[in-house]
Amino acid sequence: MENLEIILPEIFLSLTIMFLLLFGVFKNNSSKLIYNLTTFSLIILFALLLNLYQISDLSIFNNSYKVDSLATFMKLLTIGSGIFVMLTSSKYIEINNINKMEYPILILSSILGMMVMISSNDLIVFYMGLELQSLALYVLASFNRENLLSTESGLKYFVLSALSSGLLLYGCSLIYGFSGSTNFNIILDNSSSGQYGITFGIVFILVGLAFKISAVPFHMWAPDVYQGSPTSVTTFFAVLPKIAALSVFIRFLYVPFAEMNDQWQMIIIFLSIASMIFGAVAAIGQKNLKRLIAYSSIGHMGYALTGLAAGTNKGIQGSISYIAIYLVMNLAFFSCMFMLRRNNEYYESIEDLSGLSKNHPLLSFSLLIILFSLAGIPPLAGFFAKFYVFMAVIEQKMYFLAIVGLLSTVIAAFYYLRIIKIIYFDKEKEKFETDHHFGLKLTLAVSTIFILAYFIYPSGLTEIVSKINII
Amino acid sequence: MDFPIISSLIILPTIGALFILFTKSSNSKYQSSKYVALFISLANFILSIYLWLIFDKSSINFQFVENREWLSGFIDYKVGVDGISILFILLTTFITPICVISVISTIKHRLKDFLIAILIMETLMIGVFCSLDLIIFYLFFEGGLIPMFLIIGIWGGERRVYSAFKFFLYTLLGSVLMLIAIISIYWISGTTDVEKLYEIGIGEQYQKLLWLAFFSSFAVKTPMWPVHTWLPDAHVEAPTAGSVLLAAILLKMAGYGFIRFSVGLFPIASEYFVPLVFALSLIAIIYTSLVALMQEDMKKLIAYSSVAHMGFVTLGIFTMTQQGIEGSIFQMISHGLVSAALFLSVGVVYDRNHTRLIKKYGGLVTVMPKYGIVFMIFALGSLGLPGTSGFIGEFLILMGTFKKSFLVATIASLGVILGAAYILWMYKRVVFGEIIHEEIKSMKDLKKFELLILLLLAIPIIFFGLYPEPLINSIETSVTSLIDNYNTNLTQSFAKK
């Protein structure tokens, strides 16, 4: 039991959730306090995890729960972005009247689910984490219950997600049936390429996971859910579940089935090519910023998967760097969206950005940086994300994938340019309010500077990521 | 040499841009921004002159090399200059203050942003010319798209959005293939350091594909026929200073890239593709000259003439002769000065009459005699009259081409005649003749600052036309070593066969 300290963060988080729940029930009008306590506890959690960073490669609970460099780094990313999501959206939920005491608690429990997912080394533990995360997300998506779109998006997400969970469970049971265990390491010993049951199991599980990161052709929920959910929840959706699902992708593909990569490599290549192309093409006609960012995130997930298709440690590291840079860009983008406020109403159509640069030069400049970075133009951070991934892909001589990927960045560049055109070249509209709270300004400033100045010292991230060796 | 002079050249304009970004001008005239921009760009020019003076022209190595760890284990930040790149750096630092002066006195709307964009552009352009690592080169090369997109889009003419998009997407499309090639080179050779790559060379079996990938990027940027169509649009819609930057420096990035990378890294493929480049260059020279004859818009005419002139440049580079490559470099410098001057000259009348259509002018010489004289100098420089810098470049290129192929050189010479035809015809229609339009009569002659920047450009055009030695002297050793390297590679590959 002495190893229990390595799951101290999870224990701490569970206790916090229970405490806050009781606190909220017994004390009236405590939602604001709970919100702040949640942010605070996330910061403590971050510190606890940093403390764990030295420990590498330990597993507990009969080797079903793993704490290694991958898990710790991904958890740090999750919680770090969780903190920033909380910081950016406090005003938004107040104005939209969704600052109920359940809101932060649901966010915490979904983060707990993600942490379990990230560390899981066993199909059952993984499924438990996934469901904990998803259940909280269903409620969050429909949290603005007086809004029709929000309710619809919650329901839609629930129905489709339940379907994909079912497929995933079926895959798990196939794998259990053919290999005799749910533990990743034992599956590795007991499985071989010849067993069709295992191959089918892999396919079903990949479908479930692809749904979670909204890779084409399992992306249908993303645009509606992104648009319908309250923006604060969309911010959460766009970043955190993707980190968790990607780390499960990595662990699931590279621990039990590393030697069967001829079986799953084509699937990953297909998913990534389809997502990159679809994400680039479908976003062109969008009018709503949230919907547009949903399509753009489909595309971005395609790039993240590209690294996994390479089948090397470099590829995995590329994907991890990709998701790390992607989450900063997304946080920055959503911080900008939270700034589009006029008379206690938030604006989310692209047309509302028209001529923004006249009245809000700094905000427009940040958006300019963010959008060029999302398009992957050097020397901004988004370019490096793509660079790492394609570095790994080309090492494996997968030129087709690289060419398709980079050509779709050109298509994608078009719709990012369209937003920049609207901001910089079009006629101005009414001013937006400028009195933003500190957390929002801080998030935007930190993330924009990160994107802009990343090229000065790119070794920082690569050095951390290069310690993650799965194979 | 401990002082990082090249990095200072690169960083200085950015520091100036940051300074402008964070200072608030007390009045709406942006006085402080103007002086900062002018001061920084002049300081950079003086620094580059100093670099030229202390540069050792007899050495074939890269000089003032700085090598720092950047992306640990992968790529180093490596910059340095040789005889070829130093001229382009000088061109950049010389053109930038001219752009700044032109912008300060003509742009009223969002001046501060324009100055920032120009200074950032200068950083990126100098970076392109002195980076000695392919990845670093790519960063600077592509980064230039962002400020140029904004310059065309914010301060451009009526169809600015279309032109800005076309410019951006065309160039990006060409460049992503180059990125794939650069990464492939890393995995094939284990490095992207240009100096090391010159030494170890790149396997023959890879060269052709890699050459094509680089070619796709440079051909769009040069621009070569048939991917030149973005250039006339971009030029016509861009503000004067944008056109100047575009014609004088951005196009030269590709010519420089051809010399440094296509010829330097892939000699065998370059030899193989010579007929392709010759064919495209000849089409560019003849076809776009004919198109230029038909133009009604002055800026468009000059844009097409740029395509034709760049056709000479690519022709000269791929003759692989001492004269041809030296001529190409000379032609690029000369065209940088001449086209900048021509665009500024068009800008002068556009500011007064708000049209660029040739038929709206005529008889300018009677109301604007000074303008008539300076415009004449530039027109003659463009057609390559002996005594102007344009002549030296074209002459050397044609000399090199004759060595290689008589037929190609003959056809290219026809281009020189056409070049004289379109530019003189335009000059005649704009400056001479009767005054038909009433509004011409009220046009004022050159203001002091206009005369200043145009004379500043006229001096080197005439000086280097009469005395090209300083430029040729500076590039000679580098070009010789380039060609030696090229020939050894070819003979080795034949010996193997």
Ordered alpha helix ranges (H), A96-195: 102-119, 123-141, 148-179, 184-190
As a whole-number percent, the residues of chain B with pLDDT over 90 amount to 16
Residues B179-209: pLDDT tens digits?
Answer: 999 999 998 888 888 888 888 888 888 888 9
Reduce the DSSP state of residue A465 to 3 states and report it: helix
* pLDDT digit string, tens, across residues A281-324: 998 888 999 999 999 999 999 999 999 888 888 899 999 999 99
Interface test with B, best of A359, A390, A410, A449 (most B CBs within 10 A): A410
Structure-block tokens of residue B177: 């293939």
- Interval A159-188 mean pLDDT: 90
Angstrom distance (rounded) from CA B289 to CA B377: 20
DSSP secondary structure code for residue A183 in this structure? B
pLDDT of residue A83: 93
Note the pLDDT of residue A56.
67
Question: For A16, left (φ over 0), alpha (ψ -120 to 50), or beta?
Answer: alpha
pLDDT for the residue A109: 93
- Residue B1 clears pLDDT 60, i.e. is over it: no
Question: DSSP readout, A367-421?
Answer: HHHHHHHHHT-TTSHHHHHHHHHHHHHHHTT-HHHHHHHHHHHHHHHHHHHHHHH
What residues are paired with B71 via a beta bridge? B75
CA distance A468 to A455: 22
Q: What is the dihedral of CA B354, B355, B358, B359, to 10 degrees?
A: -100
Is A73:A213 a contact under the CB 8 Å cutoff?
no
> Min CA distance, A452 vs chain B (Å)?
12
- How many percent of chain A have pLDDT more than 70? 99
pTM of this prediction exceeds 0.90:
yes
Q: Report which secondary-structure segment, H or E, holds A59.
A: strand A58-60
Residues of A near B (CB-CB distance < 8 A)? Answer: 368, 372, 377-379, 383, 387, 390-391, 394-395, 399, 402-403, 406-407, 409-410, 413-414, 417, 420-421, 424-425, 455, 458-459, 462-463, 466
The answer for B320, left when phi > 0, alpha when psi is -120 to 50, beta otherwise, is left
Whole-number Cα distances in Å, A95 to A92, A105, A142, A233, A234: 5, 19, 17, 14, 16
- Closest residue to A417, CB basis, from B70, B168, B176: B168
pLDDT (tens digit per residue) in B250-298: 889 989 999 988 888 888 888 889 899 999 999 989 998 999 888 888 8
Cα B461 from Cα A106, distance rounded (Å): 72
Question: How far A456 CA sits from the closest chain B CA (Å)?
Answer: 8
Amino acid at A50: L
CA-nearest residue of chain B to A417? Answer: B165
B27 pLDDT band, cuts 50/70/90, is low
Please return the burial class of B205, using the count of CB atoms within 10 Å of its CB with bins 0-12, 13-18 and 19+: exposed
Structure confidence at residue A371 as a pLDDT band (50, 70, 90): very high
Work out the widest C-alpha separation in chain B, in whole angstroms: 73
Three-class DSSP category at B297: strand
When pLDDT is averaged across residues A380-402 and rounded to a whole number, the result is 90
**What number of CA atoms fall less than 13 Å from residue A289's CA on the CB side?**
27
DSSP state for residue B74 in the 8-state scheme: T
Q: Which chain A positions have a beta carbon within 8 Å of B135's beta carbon?
A: 387
Mutate to test the interface with B, among A374, A420, A452, A454 (most CBs of B within 10 A): A420
CA pair distance B196, B67, nearest whole angstrom:
13
A62: left (phi over 0), alpha (psi -120 to 50) or beta: left
Give A60-85 pLDDT, tens digit per residue. 888 888 888 888 999 999 999 999 99
- Maximum separation of any 2 CA atoms in chain A, in Å: 66
Backbone angles phi, psi at B63, to 5 degrees: -120, 165
Burial (CB count <10 Å: 0-12, 13-18, 19+), residue A414: middle
Q: Which of B110, B111, B173, B183 is most worth mutating to test chain A (most A CB atoms within 10 A of its CB)?
A: B183
Closest approach of B236 to chain A, Cα-based (Å): 17
DSSP 8-state code for residue B437: S
CB contact under 8 A, A403 and B177: yes
Name every chain A residue with its beta carbon within 8 A of the beta carbon of B180: 390, 394, 399, 402-403, 406
Q: Does a cis peptide bond (omega within 30 degrees of 0) precede residue A361?
A: no
Q: Quick check: B184 and A394 CB within 8 A?
A: yes
Rounded CA-CA distance A221/A158 in Å is: 10
Q: Is the pLDDT of residue B353 over 60?
A: yes
- How confident is the model at residue B473, as a pLDDT? 85
- The residue ranking higher by pLDDT, B443 or B270, is B270
- pLDDT tens profile B108-163: 788 888 888 999 999 999 999 999 999 999 999 998 889 999 988 888 878 888 98
Q: What is the mean pLDDT of residues A253-279?
A: 88
Mean pLDDT comparison of A256-265, A354-363, B304-313, highest-scoring range: B304-313
Alpha carbons within 13 angstroms on the beta-carbon side of residue A15 total 8
pLDDT at A51 over 90: no
- Alpha-carbon gap: B462 to the closest alpha carbon of chain A (Å): 39
- DSSP character at residue A456: G
Indicate if the pLDDT at residue B58 is higher than 90.
Answer: no
Residue B155 CA to residue B113 CA, distance in Å, equals: 10
Q: Across residues A117-140, what is the average pLDDT?
A: 91
Q: What is the mean pLDDT of chain A?
A: 89
Q: Please, which pLDDT band fits residue A127 given cuts at 50, 70 and 90?
A: very high
Average pLDDT, chain B: 87
**Among A410-414, B46-50, B360-364, the least confident range:** B360-364
Minimal Cβ distance to A425: which of B135, B153, B186: B153
Q: Do B139 and A383 touch (CB under 8 A)?
A: yes
The CA distance from B131 to the nearest CA of chain A, in Å, is 14
Residue A457 φ/ψ region, left for φ over 0, alpha for ψ in the -120 to 50 degree band, beta for the rest: beta
Closest residue to A394, CB basis, from B164, B173, B187? B187
**Alpha carbons B338 and A92: distance in angstroms, whole number:** 57
The predicted structure's pLDDT at residue A193:
67
Cα–Cα distance between B469 and B457 in angstroms, integer? 18
Residue A41 has a pLDDT of 93
- What is the DSSP annotation of B309-324? HHHHHHHHHTTTSHHH
For residue A61, give every residue at least 6 positions away whose Cβ sits within 8 Å of its Cβ, in sequence order, or none.
A125
Residue A390 to residue B180, Cβ atoms within 8 A: yes
Of A390, A424, A463, which is closest to B150 when you measure between CB atoms? Answer: A424
Q: Chain B: which residues have CB within 8 Å of chain A?
A: 69-74, 135, 138-140, 142-143, 145-146, 149-150, 153-154, 160-161, 164-165, 168-169, 172-173, 176-177, 179-180, 183-184, 186-187
**Beta pairing class for A65-67 and A345-346:** unpaired
| B169/A378 CB distance under 8 A | no
User: What is the reported pLDDT for B26?
Assistant: 53
- Asked whether the predicted pLDDT for residue A204 surpasses 70, the reply is yes
Q: Given pLDDT bands bounded at 50, 70 and 90, which one contains residue B29?
A: low
Query: pLDDT grade, residue B358 (50/70/90)?
Result: confident
Best mutation target among A449, A452, A455 (most B Cβ atoms within 10 Å) is A455
pLDDT digit string, tens, across residues B90-120: 999 999 998 888 888 888 788 888 888 999 9
How much is the average pLDDT of A256-262? 82
Confidence tier at A344 by pLDDT (50, 70, 90) = confident
pLDDT higher at B317 or B225: B317
Q: CA of A312 to nearest chain B CA: how many angstroms apart?
A: 14
pLDDT at A1 over 60: no
Binned at pLDDT 50, 70 and 90, residue A216 comes out as confident
Interface confidence, given as ipTM, is: 0.90
- Give the one of B71, B140, B169 whose C-beta lies nearest to A413's C-beta: B169
Q: Tell me the shortest Cα–Cα distance from A156 to chain B, in angstroms.
A: 37
B44: pLDDT strictly greater than 70: yes
Q: How would residue B2 be classed by pLDDT, with cut points 50, 70 and 90?
A: low
Residues of B in contact with A462 (CB under 8 A): 71-74
Q: Give the dihedral sign, CA B363/B364/B370/B376.
A: negative
Q: Report chain A residues whose CB lies below 8 A from the CB of B138.
A: 378
